[in-house]
Amino acid sequence: MTDPLHNRRERWSNAYRARRDSARERRTLNAAWKLVVFVIGLTVIAFGAFLLVFPGPGWPTILLGLIILSSEFAWANRFLDPVQRTTQRVTNSVKERTSRRQQIALVSLIIIFCVIGIVLVLVK
């Protein structure tokens, strides 16, 4: 049985690649594409920096901005590589230190606390 989500993701990915390849063939359109990606990426990074000062997910937002920039710029990818390696190393060490049962218990507790928090907010 084929997964409809996978097929949709595949279609979107192929459509994006086709548009991007078409834009690369035209010098002006390629420059405009890179400028739009640059502006969006920097905007997301600036918003992430704002969220570092004020309550919010600052670091994940900054990482999202780097991911956006790294889709077009090699220098942004160089900033992102150490973060990806560190994330993978931390994930592997957590997986090695905890058993499957502990991981399930931890995820279950997180879900329970989220549900309790949502219920408390909705009850007010």
Domain ranges of the chain: 4-72
Spatial neighbors of 52 by CB under 8 A, at least 6 apart, are: 58, 59, 62
Digit-coded pLDDT (tens) for 78-94: 888 888 888 788 778 87
Q: What is the DSSP letter of 54?
A: S
- The Cα 95–Cα 74 span in angstroms is 31
Q: What is the pLDDT of residue 2?
A: 60
> What pTM was computed for the model?
0.59
Q: What is the pLDDT of residue 43?
A: 95
What CA–CA distances, in Å, run from 27 to 23, 30, 31, 34, 110? 8, 5, 6, 11, 50
